[in-house]
Amino acid sequence: MTTTEDTPLFYHVAHDSAYQHPYTWAYRYEPSLSERGTRCDVCGLGDVFVTGAYPRFPLSAAVEGGWRYPDVLGSGEYPLLIVSEAMVEDWVQDGITGYNAYPLTIVRASCAAIRRQTPPQYFHIEVTGRCQLDTEAMGLSVVYNCPKCGYVEKEPAFNTPFIIRRDSWDGTDLFVSDLSKGVTFCTDRVRALAEKRKWTNVRFVLPERYWDLDNDDCLTEKTISNTARHRDVQHSATKASDDSHERRTGSEARSPEQTRLDL
């Protein structure tokens, strides 16, 4: 798929707690998710809950650090996307798609500055939109992917860019890959809404630059409108994916005689 001006930009969206120190974050759930889940009986490595691979029920959390509650709440115990009720209302109003929202209530705060404040109602987000990653263009091999809990072993495990196969994207605004369900991708509609509504503690990173967290293309609440270079970056990644796809399909179309002649 060739990118054009009409091709939507994709981002990884998450909290910005590592860089935004004024904001508190959830350091544990009460009770912990490990206590509410069980080890997968297929692989013995991932967690499963009574609701399946995702905890589709209300949660309670304890927070620490900072002196303000943000819109996107960082999470230390388990990689959940946690957002304020105001953000969910913005999503509903603007027709953002690809998620289910479950209540998350703050029940304890370790910092005096935070204890003096009434916490907002939060929600943890199950992302239901889907895409596939171009593992060949990423230089990634999947060693194991559990069919029940979704546990994934990859080589290399880290430091590979995320290159999304655009022809696999289901058209939702929030989406994940089955190979990286803890990494939430989104469309530029979500980024534009964050700019408009001034969400706090949010970070948008091009999937192709995911591991380069200090790169100049990261967008935060202070730089959220600086998107000028992003289409060029994603165009290059999409071209690499297209070239990889052409090589695969070209190889599959070759006859055994052609292969022997080349050798």
d(CA 81, CA 184): 8
Average pLDDT over the chain, rounded to an integer: 84
DSSP codes of every residue in 116-141: TSPPPPEEEEEE-EEEEE-HHHHT-E
Least confident span in 5-9, 56-60, 130-134, 160-164: 5-9
Among 26, 84, 71, 78, CA closest to 54: 78
212 vs 34 pLDDT, higher one? 34
205 vs 257 pLDDT, higher one? 205
In the 8-state DSSP scheme, what is residue 208? G
What confidence score (pLDDT) does residue 241 get? 57
pLDDT in tens, 58-97: 999 999 999 999 999 999 888 899 999 999 999 999 999 9
Quick check: 201 and 22 in contact, CB under 8 A?
no
d(CA 73, CA 122): 8
pLDDT in tens, 15-40: 998 877 899 999 999 999 989 999 99
What ranges make up the beta strands (E) of 128-248? 129-133, 141-145, 152-155, 164-165, 174-177, 180-187, 202-205
pTM: 0.82
Among 229, 207, 206, CA closest to 218: 206
What confidence score (pLDDT) does residue 248 get? 54
pLDDT at 184 over 50: yes
pLDDT at 257 over 50: no
Average pLDDT over residues 151-157: 88
Question: What is the SS3 assignment for 95?
Answer: coil
What confidence score (pLDDT) does residue 258 get? 34
Q: How many CB atoms lie within 10 A of CB 213?
A: 11
